[in-house]
Amino acid sequence: MAFTTFPPPGSPPGILEHRSGRLTQPSRLRIIRYDVDSLEEKADATVADCQNFKDRPGIKWLHLEGLEDLTLLQDLGACLGFHPLALEDVVEGRAPIKVDDYPNYLFIVSRLVTDLIDFSDEQISLFLGPDYLLSIQETHTDHFSIIRERLRHGSGQVRSQGADYLAYTLIDYIVDSWFPLLENFGERLEDLEDRLLSQPDGKLTLELQSLRRQMLRGRRMLWPIRESINTLLDLEGTLIHEHTRVYLRDCHDHAFQVIDLLENFRDIASGLIDVYLSSLNNRLNEVMKVLTIIATIFMPLTFIAGVYGMNFKTELSPWNMPELSWYYGYPFALGLMGMSVLIMLIYFTRKKWL
Amino acid sequence: MAFTTFPPPGSPPGILEHRSGRLTQPSRLRIIRYDVDSLEEKADATVADCQNFKDRPGIKWLHLEGLEDLTLLQDLGACLGFHPLALEDVVEGRAPIKVDDYPNYLFIVSRLVTDLIDFSDEQISLFLGPDYLLSIQETHTDHFSIIRERLRHGSGQVRSQGADYLAYTLIDYIVDSWFPLLENFGERLEDLEDRLLSQPDGKLTLELQSLRRQMLRGRRMLWPIRESINTLLDLEGTLIHEHTRVYLRDCHDHAFQVIDLLENFRDIASGLIDVYLSSLNNRLNEVMKVLTIIATIFMPLTFIAGVYGMNFKTELSPWNMPELSWYYGYPFALGLMGMSVLIMLIYFTRKKWL
Amino acid sequence: MAFTTFPPPGSPPGILEHRSGRLTQPSRLRIIRYDVDSLEEKADATVADCQNFKDRPGIKWLHLEGLEDLTLLQDLGACLGFHPLALEDVVEGRAPIKVDDYPNYLFIVSRLVTDLIDFSDEQISLFLGPDYLLSIQETHTDHFSIIRERLRHGSGQVRSQGADYLAYTLIDYIVDSWFPLLENFGERLEDLEDRLLSQPDGKLTLELQSLRRQMLRGRRMLWPIRESINTLLDLEGTLIHEHTRVYLRDCHDHAFQVIDLLENFRDIASGLIDVYLSSLNNRLNEVMKVLTIIATIFMPLTFIAGVYGMNFKTELSPWNMPELSWYYGYPFALGLMGMSVLIMLIYFTRKKWL
Amino acid sequence: MAFTTFPPPGSPPGILEHRSGRLTQPSRLRIIRYDVDSLEEKADATVADCQNFKDRPGIKWLHLEGLEDLTLLQDLGACLGFHPLALEDVVEGRAPIKVDDYPNYLFIVSRLVTDLIDFSDEQISLFLGPDYLLSIQETHTDHFSIIRERLRHGSGQVRSQGADYLAYTLIDYIVDSWFPLLENFGERLEDLEDRLLSQPDGKLTLELQSLRRQMLRGRRMLWPIRESINTLLDLEGTLIHEHTRVYLRDCHDHAFQVIDLLENFRDIASGLIDVYLSSLNNRLNEVMKVLTIIATIFMPLTFIAGVYGMNFKTELSPWNMPELSWYYGYPFALGLMGMSVLIMLIYFTRKKWL
Amino acid sequence: MAFTTFPPPGSPPGILEHRSGRLTQPSRLRIIRYDVDSLEEKADATVADCQNFKDRPGIKWLHLEGLEDLTLLQDLGACLGFHPLALEDVVEGRAPIKVDDYPNYLFIVSRLVTDLIDFSDEQISLFLGPDYLLSIQETHTDHFSIIRERLRHGSGQVRSQGADYLAYTLIDYIVDSWFPLLENFGERLEDLEDRLLSQPDGKLTLELQSLRRQMLRGRRMLWPIRESINTLLDLEGTLIHEHTRVYLRDCHDHAFQVIDLLENFRDIASGLIDVYLSSLNNRLNEVMKVLTIIATIFMPLTFIAGVYGMNFKTELSPWNMPELSWYYGYPFALGLMGMSVLIMLIYFTRKKWL
């Protein structure tokens, strides 16, 4: 629930600054230039390289990891001509998932889930131009190595398509990385259901609530991702080619699938809470029934025993507990008790409590 | 809740592959070519037959059962010119219910409920071209034999209409196969209601929840089916003829009917849960009332008996329980007890607990 | 909850057949031809009469009661040129409330509530052409006799208007027949509220649930009726005249009024359930308080009595219950008890339980 | 909840008739003709006056109180040319809040709250023509005297504007008369909150429910009022001048304000119900805790006292309750009891029940 | 919940008047005129200054604090040509958040949160013309000093942009001032969650409810703010420049972020209430289990002790409690008790209550 401090109200917009409480990692830029036939790669690139690569033919993929070096980011923005507000969104790392349509490029913000258990995520920012893609991530975790591999080996059609197809590949990666998370949710739900049926206790509610909260967060992350893909699909202009649109539509279907499964899980989780509450209620009913049966049987018995434990002087009056002196006094008392039990048992059977 | 493993994020799109954990059945292709006057049928057809039939006049219905032979599917796709993403959707078997409008054909994904009790379903994929329909199902269950029969005997107008009418016939089948399921739901609901009124127990909640979950799943399956029929109705172009639209509208009405009944059942199920919870509450109230009445009557009695069971030495002082030596001591004690019971009974009657 | 069997999936559309489990009544056709000056009426008419009346001037109202004679219906359809799917909707009697806009006529499906207590209803189908109206009902109940009377006596403007005005008259009848039902709902709600305040018991929940279910069904019937009137209002073409639109708008207002009242009742019913549940809770609290007060007062008393009922030999030791031999032993014990009661009473008063 | 009887279904539309069960008051017509310079007023006017004033220059305000004289209403309608359905809506007094756009005039239906405590309201019907306004109310309560005063004294701009501005003034009055009601709601809510915190009892739920019901009714009345102002704002044609639109927009803002406050109150009321239910639950918990503590402490004590109250003959066997003959037998028994209490207290402290 | 008195219904619109119960502060006007190169400032300005500055080049920012001097406001309105209704909205201080598009200027109403703990807020009214901005606040709290500083020092681009950019700066301030509030909400939620897990009591519900109420109010304030930014973005005309729109879009993103976080907190709060209720239920179950176990164990014991405390005369009959005279009578009784305890313990273990 903790979040880093926000900029104080009234500070001017478009200023790149690290907020206190935000951890940043050293910046590393990697540039890959490719076309159908060739691929060139430069790790630990600098702004000079950006300038260098910029006007050469082929598709340029610039990938920036870590946001420590704000000058690098600012220089990159200047080199490719980005709006300061977009760069500020990158640095803040808290922008809503969206597609901003600037005159010569698209600024796409998305979020990638990075941890199944703690449900942490990081912002992935994409700047898509006519022949380049700048992707920026905050941490050093190498999410997109598999896509780099596909590029290097030329598998699939990614080498023969434009920068928009590369952007699609990254977005598709982001959407598809939800599936393992969903399997994790599914397993935890099944586990909770099993435990709820075998030995329900109070911790279950807490765990269910935390699961629901994560699913809610997931839903709130997924809807705008789906919306942003929709925006890309509806976008006019030449940045997204017709050929890529078909693939984005497929990616949109995947996002829909994820949301659908998530909704399914949410229903199941809600149902489990209902079942749990009604099992609590049932249990209370059962406990109370046992108490009532025991109390209702033994109270009259104890009373009868109490009566014949009174010390009235039988010798002073024939009215004073003559039963005590009867020959069958004790069996009579026991019989009285037995009858009381019998009556109660009949009563309970009639009430269907037994 | 279990689902097969998903493709790892970052894998290239449009690749036909079986996911592990997915059971596939041998592929069998059947081609039927028909017009008003003639009908030709070829079971266990091959891609060569597809090539063969393709350009001959009349309507061609290709029906593929089982997805084991991915080469066959790929060759069919190549023969008729389908997009690899559509074929991937067929193989994955998890695509959302939809209508994809490709330049020369429609790709329609739907789901058919195959089991009433376990509520399992399978994906039915349709490729509708100007004069052909390719329908693909995953299992060997012969759902559409009745339609094949209608074709063979030329009953109804199916022989005199185009491929779009044939597609309508299949979609209509899918929608109408919901009706037996609804009857099953209806019967289970009635049964649950009867048991809830006669002898409610904890299992009822579980069963109600599972029923609600199935109905929810049904609703989530039916809405997109209805939407996809709507899409077909609104589609521009020549693939869907005006004549068929009237029938699709009728099919749309059926889908609406099913959804309406389902909503009805969901309301009833929700109502039953409310009734169940309030009956639990009532029962607890009743149990507690019995306990309270018994305790409230017998506690004073036992107390009085306890008092006269004390061993104060009457012989040492006239203050020490002189009642014990009274001539009518015992009747007096019994009278005291009777009065206490009487007071309590009056109190309970006033409170309307009796 | 029971419903007649549905057609098996895969059966060809547009076939008129009686489903098993459906009760049908003998078909009776009545034709009324009228204009401002004259009115001609023929009961027990045949298809020949239809053919006969068809091209004569004036407005023709054909009213068909009972659906046993499917040939008659089919012939009527052929005579006036209706689509087989529309006729199938008439026979099935389960079509959603709707307006289907066929080239030369409108097909309007509505439902009329026929029983206040069981909440049963029947489908009313209207075929509205340029100068005729065919209305079809399933039972022989003479709903529309009052309209026939108005026609015969020429009261109101119905004789001077077209077939669309006649259709409006029937639809208005259907909407207005909800008002008595609403009064019935209102009275049952008031009755339930009274009983809930005087002597709530478990049956109330069941009755409230059944009332809510009926209101929900009502709502689900009324919304599409309102929608279908809207469709008629928005319809282009010459079948609905401008003059009639004003009346349809009024009818739309009535439908709105009914829905508004129904929503009102639903709110009240929901509120009653809340009040009932919280009264159950309150009652439980009260019962438990009584039990706790009684137990808390008498348990210490019984304990004290129990202590002085112990049989320790006072003669063997001065430590063994010397109180028993005190001169004021018994009053001392009683005093102890009185004090214990006093302390408890003070405690309860402080807790505001008394 | 009671409402007057409705017209029987099937009765012809546009007929002015009093429904039984409806109380009507004598009709009184007042005509005010004004322009910037002059103002003429005629109380107890007749239809002849209407005819008379009709074509004279200036704005004419006709105000009708009481609906007893249906002929007067009908004649007014004929004089100014109103549709019979609009007049019927006036007489019925149950029309939905709306704006009907007739060729030469607008028919505006609204409702004015007339009683804060019982929440009764009456229909205000306005007929707005190019240079006249006919306003009709059912009772004789003189709601609009303040506006008449403003007209007479020429305060504000009402004298210099058209009939549409006068209509705005009335609608504004209707909206603003909600504010005192809201203050009443606010006070009752605060009062309920105070009582809920000091001494909650069962009546609170009933009062809260009735308050919520009133607020719901209010919301259901206010939304269409707001909608009808919107309709007036969007209306094409010359009946509403541009100058008046700005004022209507302001009136729309007021309606929004009222709805916003009402929603606020509804949230607070819902929250109070939650707080009440959880306080009931808490209270039950507390009661049960007291009972359990008392029972758990005294039951072992009473048992120990009971053991040493048994009458086994100590003289016949050294095994028969030798404790009774111990020198410190009684202190030993008391010690046993003390220890049992101690153990229980420790247990309760550990469980944090004390 | 208290609010100042409303104007009585029927009072003429556009009249500037202080409502009773409304506290006003002395009016202070400050005018700043600036362009890229120069900045001129006049505190405690008068209407004459307004007239004076009006037609000079550069951007004019008029800032009015306090509403005591209604003449000043009225004169300002006259000087700049504002509609009386807009001025009335300023004085009332209760207008909905909105953008009113007058011919030559925009009237923007917003609300600024001024107190985190009590959640009080004040209306900020902006009049945006082609080259001036009039901002009005009710209190003397110097919210916008930081923006004044930025203007004076020429930091950021505010000096080089138009009046619309200045307006954006103020709106951005209003939105960003939500972030500290959100941190406050977050901390309170965390604190409540900790306390709920360690020692839940009844006050928690009250605090949670009050927190939820504040969040609801926040949401109801934020949505219209976001909407009003949207309106500004969609506005046609030249008052908002293209350059400023990009910044407004960023501000819109911030508003979205705030709403998103708020929704997150609301979910967490709702979840906490659920957890709290189920923990109450659990606790009750546990208490009842302890009571039942104790009662069920000790009631049979006390009964057995009671039986052997009866005073039947053993000397008169061999049937009268011969156990009392057995050699091992006492051990036998104790054994009986032990066995009863043992049976109960086995029963509870089977029921998994221990």
CA distance C95 to chain B (A): 7
Cα gap C282→C269, rounded to integer Å: 20
Is the model's pLDDT at E2 over the cut of 50?
no
Of D213, D280, D325, the CB nearest to C313: D325
- Taking CB atoms and an 8 Å limit, are C249 and D100 in contact across chains? yes
Cα dihedral A138, A139, A140, A145 in deg (nearest 10): -70
Residue D20: predicted pLDDT: 67
Residue of D nearest to E328 (CA): D319
Q: What is the mean pLDDT of residues C230-237?
A: 92
Is the model's pLDDT at D3 over the cut of 60?
no
Task: Give tens-digit pLDDT for A126-135.
Answer: 999 999 999 9
Residue A9: predicted pLDDT: 83
- B-chain CB neighbours of C328 within 8 Å are 317, 319
Q: What confidence tier does C128 reach under pLDDT thresholds 50, 70, 90?
A: very high
Residue D151: predicted pLDDT: 93
Residue E5: predicted pLDDT: 61
Residue E20: predicted pLDDT: 67
- C-chain CB neighbours of D107 within 8 Å are none
- A-chain CB neighbours of B17 within 8 Å are none
CA distance B299 to chain C (A): 6
- Taking CB atoms and an 8 Å limit, are A312 and B329 in contact across chains? yes
> Are residues E266 and A105 in contact, defined by beta-carbon separation less than 8 angstroms?
no
Is the model's pLDDT at C115 over the cut of 90?
no
Cα gap B278→C280, rounded to integer Å: 9
Residue C107: predicted pLDDT: 97
Of D260, D278, D292, the CB nearest to E277: D278
Task: Give tens-digit pLDDT for B133-161.
Answer: 999 999 999 999 999 999 999 877 889 99
Which of A151-155, B286-290, C223-227 has the largest mean confidence?
C223-227
pLDDT along chain B (354 residues), means of 10: 62 80 86 93 93 92 94 94 94 91 95 81 95 95 92 87 95 92 89 82 82 88 94 91 93 92 88 83 88 92 93 88 90 93 92 80
Residue E271: predicted pLDDT: 84
Mutate to test the interface with B, among A143, A145, A281 (most CBs of B within 10 A): A281
Lowest mean pLDDT among B180-194, C10-24, D143-157, E136-150: C10-24
Of D150, D274, D295, the CB nearest to E294: D295
Is the model's pLDDT at C248 over the cut of 90?
yes
Q: What is the mean pLDDT of residues D246-261?
A: 92
3-state secondary structure of D160: helix
Pick the more confident residue, D319 or D123.
D123
Pick the more confident residue, D331 or A279.
D331
Residue C2: predicted pLDDT: 41
Task: Give tens-digit pLDDT for D281-302.
Answer: 888 888 899 999 999 999 999 9
CA distance D78 to chain C (A): 17
Q: What residues contact D231, with CB distance under 8 A and at least 6 apart?
A: D98, D99
- Taking CB atoms and an 8 Å limit, are D264 and E98 in contact across chains? no
CA distance D60 to chain E (A): 19
- Taking CB atoms and an 8 Å limit, are C331 and B310 in contact across chains? no
Q: What confidence tier does C276 reach under pLDDT thresholds 50, 70, 90?
A: confident
Task: Give tens-digit pLDDT for B103-127.
Answer: 999 999 999 988 767 778 899 999 9
- D-chain CB neighbours of E89 within 8 Å are 250, 253
Residue C5: predicted pLDDT: 61
- Which H or E element spans position D141? none
Residue B178 sits at φ, ψ, to 5 deg, of -80, -25
- Taking CB atoms and an 8 Å limit, are D330 and C312 in contact across chains? yes
- Taking CB atoms and an 8 Å limit, are D156 and E6 in contact across chains? no
Of E246, E282, E353, the CB nearest to A280: E282
Chains in touch with D (≥3 Cβ pairs < 8 A): C, E
Residue of E nearest to A199 (CA): E352
For chain D, the average pLDDT equals: 89
Residue of A nearest to E144 (CA): A10
Residues of chain E by 3-state class (helix, strand, coil), percent to 5: 55, 10, 30
Residue D354: predicted pLDDT: 74
- Taking CB atoms and an 8 Å limit, are A287 and E289 in contact across chains? yes
Q: What is the mean pLDDT of residues E263-291?
A: 86
Distance in Å from the first CA to the final CA of chain C:
50
Crossing angle for the helix pair B178-198 and B242-307, nearest 10 degrees?
10
Supply angle C-alpha B68, B72, B77, rounded to 5.
120
Nearest to A9 by CA among E178, B28, E16: E178
- E-chain CB neighbours of D169 within 8 Å are 10
> Are residues A314 and A354 in contact, defined by beta-carbon separation less than 8 angstroms?
no
Of B94, B216, B273, the CB nearest to A257: B94
Task: Give tens-digit pLDDT for D96-131.
Answer: 999 999 999 999 999 998 876 777 889 999 999 999
> Are residues B198 and B191 in contact, defined by beta-carbon separation less than 8 angstroms?
no
Rg of the Cα atoms in chain C:
36
- Taking CB atoms and an 8 Å limit, are C330 and B353 in contact across chains? no
CB atoms within 10 A of CB A153: 10
Q: What is the mean pLDDT of residues D80-87?
A: 94
Cα within 13 Å of Cα(A114), Cβ side: 15
Residue of D nearest to C266 (CA): D213
- Taking CB atoms and an 8 Å limit, are D311 and E306 in contact across chains? no
Of B173, B288, B300, the CB nearest to C284: B288
> Are residues A273 and A215 in contact, defined by beta-carbon separation less than 8 angstroms?
no
Is the model's pLDDT at E300 over the cut of 60?
yes
Residue E65: predicted pLDDT: 94
3-state secondary structure of A36: coil
CB atoms within 10 A of CB C21: 10
> Are residues A86 and A112 in contact, defined by beta-carbon separation less than 8 angstroms?
no
Of E94, E302, E325, the CB nearest to D316: E325
Cα gap C196→D205, rounded to integer Å: 13
Structure token digits, residue C246: 């004003």
How many A×E Cβ pairs under 8 Å? 177
Q: Is the ipTM of this complex over 0.85?
A: no
Q: Which amino acid appears at position D302 of this protein?
A: T
- Considering the entire predicted model, what is its pTM? 0.85
Residue A199: predicted pLDDT: 73
> Are residues E24 and E68 in contact, defined by beta-carbon separation less than 8 angstroms?
yes
Of C199, C277, C290, the CB nearest to B296: C290
Residue C343: predicted pLDDT: 94
> Are residues D344 and D337 in contact, defined by beta-carbon separation less than 8 angstroms?
no
Q: What is the mean pLDDT of residues C69-73?
A: 93
Cα dihedral C295, C297, C302, C305 in deg (nearest 10): 180
- Taking CB atoms and an 8 Å limit, are B217 and A264 in contact across chains? yes
Is the model's pLDDT at D1 over the cut of 50?
no
Is the model's pLDDT at D353 over the cut of 90?
no
- C-chain CB neighbours of B336 within 8 Å are none
Chains in touch with C (≥3 Cβ pairs < 8 A): B, D
Is the model's pLDDT at C151 over the cut of 90?
yes
For chain A, the average pLDDT equals: 89
- Taking CB atoms and an 8 Å limit, are D10 and C288 in contact across chains? no
Measure Cα distances from B129 to A250, B107, B145, B241, E215 in Å.
Answer: 21, 9, 22, 12, 55
- D-chain CB neighbours of E321 within 8 Å are 311
Of E10, E280, E326, the CB nearest to D147: E10
> Are residues E3 and D170 in contact, defined by beta-carbon separation less than 8 angstroms?
no
